A and B are shown apart, each in its own frame.
Chain A
Amino acid sequence: MKATLITNIQKFSVNDGPGFRTTVFLKGCLLRCRWCHNPETISSRQEVLWKQRLCVECGACYEVCPEQAILPVNSSENGVQKHGIKDRIDRSACNSCLECVESCPQNALVAAGQPMTVDQTLEEVEKDKTFYENSGGGLTISGGEPTLHHRFTLELMEKARYNGLHVCLDTSGYCDSDRFRRLTAGADIVLFDFKLMNSGEHQRFTGVGNEEILANLEWLVYSNIETWIRIPVVPGVNDSGDVHATMADYLISLSGDIDRVDLLPFHNWCENKYEWLGLSWDFADVNSIDPVELEQFAEYYRAKGIFTTIGGSGFEVN
Chain B
Amino acid sequence: MSTTAETIDRDVEELEKNQEWWWAAEKKRSKRLDYLRKAIWKKGAIGGLYAPGVKADLERAQLHTEKARELEFSPDPFVIKFAKMLAHVLDNKTVFITDHAQLVGYTGSLPHTVAWDPSCASLLNHEVYNDPTAIPDPVEENQAIIEEIGTYWAGKSDLDKMMPVFDPEDLAKMLSGSIGWGVPMSRGGYSNKDYEYIMTGKRGFQDIIDELDKKIDELDEEIHKPVANKEIAEMVDKLNHWEAMKITLEAGIGIARRYARLARITAGELETDPLRQQELLKIAETCERVPAHPPRNLQESFQFDIFIQMLSRTEAIEGAWPARPDYYHGAYYERDVNIDKTLTPEEALDLIGEFMIRAAEVCQFKPKWSREGLQGIDGTWVWTLGGVDANGDDACNDLTIAFMKAARLVRVANPTFGFRWHPAVKDEVMREIFECLKQGLGYPNLRHDPILIANSMHWHGHPIEEARLWVHQACMSPCPPTKHGFQPMRMANATANCAKIIEYVFTSGYDPIVNMQVGAETPDAAELTDFEQFFNAWVEQMKAIFSILVRAVNRARLLAPSLTPRPFLSAISERCIESGLDACDSTLERGNAWITAFTWVENIDSLAAVKKLVFDEKKYTLGELKEALEKNWEGFEQMRLDFVRKAPKWGNDDDEVDAIMVRCLREAARFSKELKCPSGNNWPILPENVSGNIHYSNIVGALPNGRRLGDALYDGGISPGPGLDKNGPTAVLKSCSKINHISDGRAFLLNQRLSPSQLSGENGFRLWKAYVRSWADLGIDHIQFNMVDDKTLRAAQKEPEKYQEVIVRVAGYSAHFVDISRKTQDNIIQRTIQGLG
Interface 1/0 per residue, A14-49 and B, CB below 8 Å? 111001100000000000000000000000000000
* A14: contacting residue among B731, B758, B762, B777, CB under 8 A: B758
* A315: contacting residue among B645, B766, B778, B834, CB under 8 A: B766
* A15: contacting residue among B638, B734, B771, B837, CB under 8 A: B837
Contact check, B645 vs A131: say whether CB atoms are below 8 A apart. no
* A131: contacting residue among B730, B758, B763, B764, CB under 8 A: B730
The residue of chain B having its C-beta at the shortest distance from the C-beta of A311 within the complex is: B837
Contact check, B835 vs A14: say whether CB atoms are below 8 A apart. yes
Least CB distance from A210 to B in Å reads 27
Complex formed: what's the CA distance from A127 to B837 in Å?
20
Interface 1/0 per residue, A192-227 and B, CB below 8 Å? 000000000000000000000000000000000000
Interface 1/0 per residue, B636-657 and A, CB below 8 Å? 0010011001000000010000
Complex formed: what's the CA distance from A285 to B79 in Å?
77
Complex formed: what's the CA distance from A256 to B97 in Å?
73
Contact check, B770 vs A135: say whether CB atoms are below 8 A apart. yes
Complex formed: what's the CA distance from A316 to B763 in Å?
6
Task: Report chain A residues within 8 Å CB of B728.
Answer: 10-12
Complex formed: what's the CA distance from A317 to B730 in Å?
23
Complex formed: what's the CA distance from A15 to B734 in Å?
21
Contact check, A315 vs B764: say whether CB atoms are below 8 A apart. yes
Interface 1/0 per residue, B726-766 and A, CB below 8 Å? 01111100100000000000000000000000100011101
Task: Report chain A residues within 8 Å CB of B642.
Answer: 105
* A130: contacting residue among B767, B778, B834, CB under 8 A: B778
Contact check, B730 vs A128: say whether CB atoms are below 8 A apart. yes
Complex formed: what's the CA distance from A131 to B677 in Å?
40
The residue of chain A having its C-beta at the shortest distance from the C-beta of B767 within the complex is: A315
* A20: contacting residue among B727, B734, B770, B834, CB under 8 A: B770
Task: Report chain A residues within 8 Å CB of B764.
Answer: 315
Flag whether B773 is at the interface (Cβ < 8 A).
yes
Complex formed: what's the CA distance from A244 to B434 in Å?
36
Task: Report chain A residues within 8 Å CB of B734.
Answer: 127-128
Flag whether B130 is at the interface (Cβ < 8 A).
no
Contact check, B770 vs A19: say whether CB atoms are below 8 A apart. yes
Contact check, B730 vs A11: say whether CB atoms are below 8 A apart. yes
The residue of chain B having its C-beta at the shortest distance from the C-beta of A60 within the complex is: B638
Task: Report chain A residues within 8 Å CB of B777.
Answer: 130, 133-134
Complex formed: what's the CA distance from A175 to B730 in Å?
34
Instruction: State whether A130 and B774 are in contact (beta carbons under 8 Å apart), knowing that A12-B730, A14-B758 are contacts in the complex.
Output: yes
Contact check, B730 vs A20: say whether CB atoms are below 8 A apart. yes
Flag whether A313 is at the interface (Cβ < 8 A).
yes
Flag whether A296 is at the interface (Cβ < 8 A).
no
Interface 1/0 per residue, A122-145 and B, CB below 8 Å? 000001101101110100000000
Task: Report chain B residues within 8 Å CB of A19.
Answer: 770
Task: Report chain B residues within 8 Å CB of A16.
Answer: 837
Flag whether A107 is at the interface (Cβ < 8 A).
yes
Instruction: State whether A11 and B778 are in contact (beta carbons under 8 Å apart), knowing that A107-B645, A131-B770 are contacts in the complex.
Output: no
Least CB distance from B495 to A in Å reads 33
- Summed over the interface, the residue pairs from A and B with CB atoms below 8 Å come to a total of 67
The winner among A13, A16, A19, A315 for most chain B CB atoms within 10 A is A315
The winner among A11, A12, A20, A133 for most chain B CB atoms within 10 A is A12
Instruction: State whether A13 and B645 are in contact (beta carbons under 8 Å apart), knowing that A131-B770, A315-B766 are contacts in the complex.
Output: no
Task: Report chain A residues within 8 Å CB of B727.
Answer: 11
The residue of chain A having its C-beta at the shortest distance from the C-beta of B762 within the complex is: A317
The interface residues of chain B, by DSSP majority, are classed as: helix
Interface 1/0 per residue, A265-284 and B, CB below 8 Å? 00000000000000000000
Residues of chain A in range 91-117 having any CB-CB distance to chain B below 8 Å: 105-107
The residue of chain B having its C-beta at the shortest distance from the C-beta of A23 within the complex is: B837
Contact check, B731 vs A11: say whether CB atoms are below 8 A apart. yes
Contact check, B767 vs A14: say whether CB atoms are below 8 A apart. yes
Residues of chain B in range 775-792 having any CB-CB distance to chain A below 8 Å: 777-778
Complex formed: what's the CA distance from A130 to B653 in Å?
13
Instruction: State whether A106 and B763 are in contact (beta carbons under 8 Å apart), knowing that A11-B727, A12-B728, A12-B835 are contacts in the complex.
Output: no
Task: Report chain A residues within 8 Å CB of B758.
Answer: 14
Interface 1/0 per residue, A43-69 and B, CB below 8 Å? 000000000000000000000000000
Instruction: State whether A106 and B730 are in contact (beta carbons under 8 Å apart), knowing that A19-B770, A135-B770 are contacts in the complex.
Output: no
Least CB distance from A137 to B in Å reads 8
Instruction: State whether A12 and B645 are in contact (beta carbons under 8 Å apart), knowing that A128-B730, A134-B777, A315-B764 are contacts in the complex.
Output: no
Complex formed: what's the CA distance from A134 to B770 in Å?
5
Task: Report chain A residues within 8 Å CB of B638.
Answer: 105
Contact check, A13 vs B837: say whether CB atoms are below 8 A apart. yes
Task: Report chain B residues within 8 Å CB of A131.
Answer: 730, 770-771, 774
Instruction: State whether A127 and B770 are in contact (beta carbons under 8 Å apart), knowing that A12-B835, A105-B641 are contacts in the complex.
Output: no
Complex formed: what's the CA distance from A128 to B766 in Å?
18
Task: Report chain B residues within 8 Å CB of A313.
Answer: 763, 767
Contact check, B641 vs A106: say whether CB atoms are below 8 A apart. yes
Complex formed: what's the CA distance from A12 to B652 in Å?
13
Contact check, B653 vs A134: say whether CB atoms are below 8 A apart. no
Least CB distance from A266 to B in Å reads 14
Complex formed: what's the CA distance from A137 to B770 in Å?
10
Least CB distance from A318 to B in Å reads 12
Instruction: State whether A134 and B773 are in contact (beta carbons under 8 Å apart), knowing that A20-B730, A107-B645, A128-B730 are contacts in the complex.
Output: yes
Task: Report chain A residues within 8 Å CB of B762.
Answer: 317
Complex formed: what's the CA distance from A314 to B766 in Å?
10
- Residues of B at under 8 Å CB distance from A? 638, 641-642, 645, 653, 727-731, 734, 758, 762-764, 766-767, 770-771, 773-774, 777-778, 834-835, 837
5 nearest A-B residue pairs (beta carbon): A135-B770, A315-B763, A12-B728, A134-B773, A315-B766
26 contacts across the A-B interface (CB closer than 8 A): A10-B728, A12-B728, A12-B729, A12-B730, A14-B758, A16-B837, A20-B767, A105-B641, A106-B641, A127-B730, A127-B731, A127-B734, A128-B730, A128-B734, A130-B774, A131-B730, A131-B770, A131-B771, A131-B774, A135-B766, A135-B767, A314-B767, A315-B764, A315-B766, A315-B767, A317-B766
